[in-house]
Structure 1
Amino acid sequence: MRWRATAGVLLPLLVAGTVLAAADLNADDMREAEETLHNLDSHISLQDRKALEDAKLLARYFQQVEGHFSAKADAARGVEFSRASRAHAAAIVTAVETGDYDAAQDRLTELTRSCKACHEVYKKK
């Protein structure tokens, strides 16, 4: 039963990600995503269902990031990072929907690691 719920969240995101056109991302987008990630952390810690909307926003954001990297010939790792981040955000959605804030926190840790790993490779200093 749990697998069906996860598949129900992930499948539409995966399908949408494959048809998403390349998106231009700018510094404002990144700041907004970082703020949403911070809010998500707070909402999960407080076991607040507001985390649900934060995680959904981040899943959509990482879909855009995937489109951005997919348009670049030399950014396969960026595509991998964005897909992993999107999957972590989708898993957080599922965890919050079921009230499993421990699982949401675990996936948030993985999401944060994925973000940091991508920034080490791609973020301009």
Structure 2
Amino acid sequence: MFKTIIVTSLFFGLASLAGPARAEVDEDFMQTVEDTHKSLTSNLTLQNAESSNTDANLLAGYFAEIEEFFVKKGDAQDGVDLAHKSRELVAAIQQTIAINDFGTAVQTSAELGRTCKACHKLYHDD
């Protein structure tokens, strides 16, 4: 019995290292996305490539989760499309950072903000 408890504890402990699976895109998660986007815009304006890349990488993962959320939700094609567009915009930002084109990256980040607002108009519960 003791071995079973140890093995079970080890299994769940290792499973937790893979990271939490987000069951729902909630307010806290969306606030994190918004804060990260603000940080990205600030870092792009300061031409801080390292911090901009960190933020962009986080956003790429966040928008993948959001896209998956809308796919699973069903009957939310606009949400799927806007999340996908956001992922493409983040990829474009990453490419412009790589070539030190921070002017274009800032413009693309502004477009990303507009894409987020469009999605919020459709799906945000006030």
- TM-score using structure 1 length: 0.79
Counterparts of 1:63 and 1:119 in 2: how far apart (Å)?
Answer: 17
Q: CA RMSD in A?
A: 1.4
1:69-117 Cα distance to aligned partner (Å, 9 max, x none)? 0012210000000000111011111111111101101110110110000
**1:78/1:118 contact within 8 Å kept:** yes
**2:83 aligned residue:** 82
Percent of aligned pairs sharing the same letter: 38
> Where in structure 2 are there 5+ consecutive unaligned residues?
1-20
Q: Does 1:60 align with 2:61?
A: yes
| 1:44 pairs with 2:44 | yes
Quote the residue 1:117 is aligned against: 118
- Alpha-carbon distance, 1:23 to partner: 4.8
Where does residue 104 of structure 1 map in the other structure? 105
Unaligned runs of 5+ in 1: 1-20
The 2-side partners of 1:97 and 1:36 are apart by: 19
After TM superposition, the score normalised by the length of structure 2 is 0.79
Contact 1:55 1:92 in 2 (8 A): yes
RCO higher in 1 or 2 (8 Å CA, sep ≥ 6)? 1
Equivalenced residue count is 105
* Equivalent pair of 1:22/1:71 in contact (CA under 8 Å): no
Q: Over residues 3-55 of structure 1, what are the superposed CA-to-partner deviations in whole Å (9 max), with x where a residue is unaligned? A: xxxxxxxxxxxxxxxxxx98521111111111101101100110111111101
In the alignment, the residues of structure 2 paired with residue 70 and residue 58 of structure 1 have an alpha-carbon distance, to the nearest angstrom, of: 18
Contact 1:23–1:67 (CA<8 Å) still a contact in 2?
Answer: no
How many Å separate the matches in 2 of 1:81 and 1:59? 13
SS in 1 for 2:73: coil
Code of the aligned partner of 1:70: V
| Structure-1 residue corresponding to 2:28 | 28
Partners of 2:116 and 2:73 lie apart in 1 by: 19
